[in-house]
A and B are shown apart, each in its own frame.
Chain A
């Protein structure tokens, strides 16, 4: 019986077989293309005696990373690692600042105050229509080299901050290391737990949760306990000849890159926030008014939670853009992973392995970011139910 059926539908006309065959053929072709390209690469580099292995990672880097104590004799591996850390630093700080600025401007665009809304509109239109690279060069040439004073005439802001074109020095923790970071993490976890508890109290009793305030207070408390328990202190920056000592010095290139990335990305996030707020049904705001919530409460408890649910996926894209755009910092001497890769190739490391490695690192960062954003998206989506 079955034999008869299979004889009636020959293999080359069986849709299932054809589907599989087509897919296998496509996979095979792509694989063959890659093998062929790789073969060409190996053969062409062998002709020129260019190494294709990862042995270069142990060679001395022979350059210094600005603002980093790493010796020029440290291996390329360490230089790439420091470059990766620099990429992560500018990305984390940039994402946080761009989100805050973008949200504020997005809300301001919807303000009933004519001046505020028009200013926000001008900001968005002016900034998002100018190339990012221009902001970068302007940040360096105009702000850092043009506006900031020389070290001899540095601005001393109340002994706390020293601004010069060699960097912005700010007070910083003395001997701060992973210990303090651990306390910050414990503080954040405690804060989240406290916020959760406040929400449950609010659900039971109907009192205002004020979870943000409670969580912030808990974080501060844990940090303060850690501070005294471990005897941390902080240092103020001081002028010492042509340098500043003490505190933490933010490099001019970091400053210019941060400035450009935040200003630029915030303009895009602002538009997303504005659109998302407008996508929340009008009745929601009116209902908030009807139960006599204040303007802030209406925004914070009713409109924004629903708006962010809509905004998270597109804002996540902007985060990815910001991370990838941070590679433009190479143009102004910010030693992110891209610039370290470029420099080490110029110093004798083989280009193909170095840039393959760099691309893999960017992909990893982006995928991790996507996972975090997707997680947040799922959590927010559940809230609505």
Chain B
């Protein structure tokens, strides 16, 4: 029905061209997708999985098979550039420098994904998004992946058409006041105006927390953190609430100096910040997920950007598998291809071009005064845990 109407329309209505330009791509994909999606992986990838150790050319075969179905992974590899939704002015996470570079924790995870998928950490187009626009950008395919300190929640997973992946930063909401305000704990804040960013989980959390503690807060939302800062300096806000990592970052850049602000000790929500991709493309989600996980696994192995080359003659089979080196097996030496659609050496590319999780954290977040805390490896008391790469 849809196909016939399109065939009838395209030659007839010049007006339809605009609409067609926006949607016919999707339409074409949808019509060709259906057979490719269901048949290609079932027929050709399954054997590739089992035979991979014996056949070193398996990865090339897999890639060619995938080329048929026009998935996001293939589209990104064809374009040679990853469109990564991020922001331009959150110190430590993503800042657009005067030279036009995006620097920060989130920006580096964009690079991690590009290094894994494309083998080039700089093949990233950083797309600056406002908070309220980010999911629309993801749904419409304007970006391939969203790495924009976004909290993973059930309703975002469910109704925003987003699939959240491994958390890159475990955060919690806190509250910041003027150092000379006299507020010591959260319960001192009664009858105050609390300023937050529009369209964030922070907005609802603050209202819920005030209700829970029986405090009278007026929650006032602003479009951008710049505006909150203006309002805070002018005295329109008594307190500023956001994820603690953001508060630390904003405090470090405060015009009157960080000592003019104090962050109260209470943390009142769970804010796992995770990258997200659009629903409905499992292959792409898995590829991005393993790119992120490789930074955690690398840190666990003690592999970083400075020493990754020295592991080329390692004898530890799990490290050999991880770095895409040949592993001695019963049928001779072979490279592990887990069938993710990524190059077999993607982890080595990620670590050598960007670094492991600890390096990324040290480079961007430690200078702000953030502790590793929950964002330590599982064997060091944190929550970072990568499933085994085998």
Contact = CB atoms under 8 A, between A and B. Distances in A.
Please say whether chains A and B are actual partners in one complex. yes
Contacts of A71: 207, 211
Nearest to A36: B5
B161 A346 contact: no
A242 B238 contact: yes
A228 B227 CA distance: 46
A342 B13 contact: no
A91 interface: no
Given A33-B15, A64-B203, A66-B220, A49 B135 contact: no
B204 A345 contact: no
Ranked nearest first, the 10 interchain pairs of A and B with the lowest CB-CB distance are A346-B199, A150-B235, A48-B161, A62-B204, A72-B207, A348-B155, A145-B234, A346-B132, A48-B279, A50-B161
Contact of A333 (B8, B198, B278): B198
B30 to A, nearest CB: 6
A interface SS class: helix
A83 to B, nearest CB: 13
Interface string A33-48: 1011101100111011
Given A165-B234, A330-B223, A351 B199 contact: no
B236 interface: yes
A49 B191 contact: no
Interface in B1-21: 1-2, 5-6, 8-9, 12-13, 15-16, 19
By secondary structure, the B interface counts as: helix
B132 A36 contact: no
B26 interface: yes
Interface string A296-328: 000000000000000000000000000000000
Contacts of A40: 2, 23, 26-27
Contact of B191 (A62, A150, A242): A242
Interface string A236-278: 0000111100000000100000000000000000000000000
A243 B219 CA distance: 13
B378 interface: no
Nearest to B202: A63
Interface of B: 1-2, 5-6, 8-9, 12-13, 15-16, 19, 23, 26-27, 30, 131-132, 134-136, 139, 153, 155-156, 158-161, 191-193, 198-200, 203-204, 207-208, 211, 218-223, 227, 230-231, 234-236, 238, 278-280
A252 B218 CA distance: 14
A336 B15 CA distance: 33
A233 interface: no
Given A49-B161, A150-B236, A347-B199, 11 more contacts: A33-B9, A37-B19, A40-B26, A48-B161, A71-B207, A72-B211, A145-B230, A152-B235, A166-B236, A346-B198, A348-B159
A349 B19 CA distance: 24
A141 interface: yes
A36 B2 contact: yes
Contacts of A35: 5
Given A32-B8, A150-B234, A48 B278 contact: yes
B16 A33 contact: yes
Interface in A11-55: 29, 32-33, 35-37, 39-40, 43-45, 47-51
B3 to A, nearest CB: 10
A64 B222 contact: no
B279 A49 contact: yes
B207 A63 contact: yes
A36 B19 CA distance: 10
B135 A346 contact: yes
A165 B235 contact: yes
Given A29-B9, A166-B193, A333-B223, A342 B198 contact: yes
A343 B199 contact: yes
B192 to A, nearest CB: 6
Given A63-B207, A72-B204, A165-B236, A243 B191 contact: yes
Contacts of B9: 29, 32-33, 36
Contacts of A49: 158, 161, 279-280
15 contacts: A44-B30, A48-B280, A50-B139, A62-B204, A63-B219, A66-B219, A71-B207, A72-B208, A252-B236, A333-B227, A343-B199, A346-B134, A346-B200, A347-B199, A351-B136
Contacts of B8: 32
Nearest to A42: B2
A60 to B, nearest CB: 8
A292 to B, nearest CB: 57
A40 B2 CA distance: 8
A56 interface: yes
A56 B220 contact: no
A350 interface: yes
A330 B6 CA distance: 38
Contacts of B279: 47-50
B16 to A, nearest CB: 5
Contacts of B227: 140, 332-333
